[in-house]
Amino acid sequence: MPVDLAIDGVAEFLDTCNSTPAAWAHEAATIHYHATEGRSWLLTLDGTGAWPAPLPHDAPPPSASATGTAEQLLLFVWGRRTLGDLKIEGDQQVFERLIAWEPEE
């Protein structure tokens, strides 16, 4: 898969499928997604919902992070790859809760 297509796909998924005003029912958390090709994203999960954004350079340490190629990240967010296919750091349970989460609006 072309890198630019995969990067756009991850960004679009986070903006459309992981963006919601439905309250996150767990302790507030942040997830950093890092594509080895150089692009990164931040997903904030808290009582106001889930909000993706480009990862700022001065971002505090995340609750959890996932690193892989842009294609691996895209396949992961679509459920076609597992946590074991990526380099995961931090609290893996944050990812498990996000995967299981079905927000109600």
Let me know if residue 105 belongs to a domain: no
- What pLDDT sits at residue 58? 86
Which tens digits make up the pLDDT trace of 24-80?
999 999 999 999 998 999 999 999 999 998 888 888 899 999 999 999 999 999 999
Average pLDDT over residues 13-34: 94
Q: Are strands 29-35 and 87-90 parallel, antiparallel or unpaired?
A: unpaired
- What pLDDT sits at residue 56? 83
Tally of structural domains, the chain: 1
Domain span at residue 80 reads 3-100
| pLDDT confidence bin for 16, thresholds 50/70/90 | very high
Which tens digits make up the pLDDT trace of 86-97?
999 999 999 999
Let me know if residue 78 belongs to a domain: yes
Torsion of CA 84, 60, 43, 39, to 10 degrees: -70
Let me know if residue 33 belongs to a domain: yes
Q: Output the domain CATH number for residue 30.
A: 3.30.1050.10
Let me know if residue 47 belongs to a domain: yes
E strand spans, the chain: 29-35, 40-46, 49-54, 64-68, 87-90
The answer to whether residue 105 scores a pLDDT higher than 70 is no
Distance CA 103, CA 81 (A): 22
